[in-house]
Amino acid sequence: MSHVPPPLVDNDDDLFDKDNENEDLFSSAMDDMNIVKSGVINPLPDLPTLQLSVEKSLASSPVDESTHEDVSVHSPTPTQKYQPPLLIKDSNSTGTDHYIDIRVTDATKLGDGMAAYIVFRVETKTNIPVFRKTFFSVQRRFSDFLGLHEKLVEKYLRLGRIIPPAPEKSVIGMTKIKMSGSNDVSPPTEFLERRRASLERYLQRTAAHPVLNVDQDFREFLTSETDLPKASNTSTLSGAGMLRFFNKIGETVNKITYRMEGYDSWFEEKSQEIENLENGLRKLHSNMECLVLARKELAVYTGALAKTIAMLSNCEEHTLLSRCLAHLTDLEEKTETLHHEQANSDFSTVCEMMKDYIALIGAIKCVFHERVKVYQNCQHSQLMLNKKREYKAKMEFANRTDKVSIAAQEIVEWESKVERCEEEFNSISKMIKKEMERFEAVRVEEFKAVFIRYMEDQLKHQIQLVKFWETFLPEAKAIA
């Protein structure tokens, strides 16, 4: 008989808690909701976007050296594009389309010093009957979002559900906010805008799941006007946080060293597909971040060029040439703004989605490993059953009737445990396949929508740039 690893504890509540924001959608949820098979796929609405602030020190230029001043770069104020509400097909096929529209807005700093924290306003509009009203507006802090994720993982991960990953923590970012003297966070910093957008995407992805969007804890999070109980276990430096850290190390070792053999090749193939997808997404995310940085640097250099041309225009004695240089300065300033918009488009449209999907693949790996843990428990139960049967046979051979009756009772108990474990293993395997089927369908739809929007943005920017130069060309030809 092959060596079987020791059983794992069932209540590993914190093993898959995605405190670290690394961080979609998934799953065919209610057993009676055959969404994918009916062809009804509800991709997410356009996810929230954010705009990057621009570092003025990215590049040096002759202007910097001659004037000893920073290059003035005007970057658009962080804004949020409109996203249509998420439509949810009525499970009763009555022809009614339900929707849920979740927005995270208005970051507010409360408290002073290291005790300070940020709360966000969460606004929800919906016509789903399970909600008491059609509009809710509540305030939630970041730990509330992590607490919600923790509850959903505890309830649904063991069932084979793919839980949208919670946003990442940022100790450095929050420390800067806490140590700032002012309680005014308007306009929001780049850190707060990133966090706001990631929290909104997290809620939208959770709302897109047909089971999670009606979960009692999720509804309470969106609707309860009172403060939620403090989720103390989400603190990185807490005892529970350290315990989760060491648990994750053990889980990682277990994932590497243990392999299931002889069970459903679908999972082996799908695991390899997920690995390949993750590697590809990581490379794309890294290259897109480099492109964003390059566009920001290009914008800074373009602004420096505009300043240099303006200085040349002021000292030019030829009237037409001076006027032409002044118009060229205006063109370069517009081009600078356009490069900022392109960087924002690259980041918000592609980079953030890639980051979300990388985190989502981590959640998929967690649910795959949960299946392995169930299998390990099945193997342990079967091993114990075999030992009890051997013990009973020895007692019968020794004519120990008192021990035989006890062993018989224990055999019945372990037979029942083996049966329950096998049912759980078959159930989680079936659910994971449904979840992956939904994930793949929605992923294709969302990737298609995102890349089309990205190409449209790039085309719009290039057309605008061509118009700038076409407008300037007559000015250059007028020089005599």
pLDDT reported for residue 80? 46
Residue 78 is classified by DSSP as: P
Give the residue, 62 or 459, on which the prediction is more confident. Answer: 459
Lowest mean pLDDT among 23-27, 224-228, 409-413: 23-27
Indicate if the pLDDT at residue 234 is higher than 70: no
| Mean pLDDT for the chain overall | 79
Peptide bond into 210 cis (omega under 30): no
Task: Measure the CA–CA gap between 83 and 75, rounded to whole angstroms.
Answer: 23
Work out the average pLDDT over 254-272: 72
Range from 78-87, 124-133, 152-161 that averages highest in pLDDT: 152-161
Lowest mean pLDDT among 38-42, 319-323, 391-395: 38-42
pLDDT band at 235 (very low <50, low <70, confident <90, very high): low
- Cβ–Cβ under 8 Å, residues 446 and 24: yes
pLDDT reported for residue 34? 42
CB-based burial label for 171 (10 Å; 0-12, 13-18, 19+): exposed
Please state, in angstroms and as integers, the Cα–Cα distance from residue 90 to each residue in 34, 35, 97, 119, 343, following that order: 12, 10, 6, 34, 39
Indicate if the pLDDT at residue 63 is higher than 50: no
Task: Measure the CA–CA gap between 27 and 205, rounded to whole angstroms.
Answer: 11
pLDDT band at 228 (very low <50, low <70, confident <90, very high): confident
End-to-end CA distance of the chain: 95
Work out the average pLDDT over 104-125: 87
pLDDT band at 190 (very low <50, low <70, confident <90, very high): confident
Task: Measure the CA–CA gap between 183 and 116, rounded to whole angstroms.
Answer: 9
pLDDT reported for residue 477? 87
Give the residue, 60 or 274, on which the prediction is more confident. Answer: 274
CA dihedral 102, 347, 106, 56 (to 10 degrees): 180
CB atoms within 10 A of CB 273: 12
Residue 37 is classified by DSSP as: T
Strand ranges (E), 127-179 = 135-141
Residues pairing with 145 in the sheet = none
Question: Percentage of the chain surpassing pLDDT 70?
Answer: 71
pLDDT digit string, tens, across residues 275-306:
999 999 999 999 999 999 999 999 999 999 99
Contacts of residue 458, defined as CB under 8 A and 6 or more positions apart, other chains included, come to: 342, 345
Lowest mean pLDDT among 41-45, 118-122, 174-178, 224-228: 41-45
- Cβ–Cβ under 8 Å, residues 197 and 50: yes
Angle at 148 between CA 147 and CA 154, to 5 degrees: 90
Exposure string of 71-97, with b = 16+ CB inside 10 Å and e = fewer, is bebebeebebeebebbebbeeeeeeee
Residue 480 is classified by DSSP as: -
pLDDT reported for residue 467? 94
Residue 351 is classified by DSSP as: I
Task: Measure the CA–CA gap between 200 and 213, rounded to whole angstroms.
Answer: 14
pLDDT reported for residue 62? 39
Residue 77 identity (one-letter amino acid): T
Please state, in angstroms and as integers, the Cα–Cα distance from residue 329 to each residue in 219, 312, 325, 340, 343, following that order: 54, 10, 6, 17, 21
Tokens of 32: 């009676």
pLDDT digit string, tens, across residues 345-377:
899 889 999 999 999 999 999 999 999 999 999
- Cβ–Cβ under 8 Å, residues 222 and 102: yes
Taken as a whole, the chain contains a residue count of: 480
pLDDT band at 6 (very low <50, low <70, confident <90, very high): very low
Tokens of 271: 């695991």
Work out the average pLDDT over 37-41: 41
Work out the average pLDDT over 215-221: 94
Tokens of 162: 């793919």
Task: Measure the CA–CA gap between 87 and 85, rounded to whole angstroms.
Answer: 6
pLDDT band at 2 (very low <50, low <70, confident <90, very high): very low
Q: How far is CA 30 from the centre of its chain?
A: 23
pLDDT reported for residue 121? 94
Lowest mean pLDDT among 71-80, 97-106, 341-350, 408-417: 71-80
Residue 257 identity (one-letter amino acid): T
Helical segments of 3-46, H only: none
Task: Measure the CA–CA gap between 359 and 353, rounded to whole angstroms.
Answer: 10
Lowest mean pLDDT among 166-170, 213-217, 446-450: 166-170
**Mutual orientation of helices 171-179 and 190-207 as an angle, nearest 10°?**
130
Spatial strand order of the sheet with 86-89 comes to: 86-89, 97-110, 117-126, 135-141
Task: Measure the CA–CA gap between 2 and 6, rounded to whole angstroms.
Answer: 13
Work out the average pLDDT over 402-410: 90
pLDDT reported for residue 446? 92
Work out the average pLDDT over 443-447: 93
pLDDT reported for residue 87? 59
Give the residue, 248 or 393, on which the prediction is more confident. Answer: 393
Task: Measure the CA–CA gap between 386 and 273, rounded to whole angstroms.
Answer: 37
pLDDT reported for residue 187? 58
Task: Measure the CA–CA gap between 451 and 350, rounded to whole angstroms.
Answer: 8
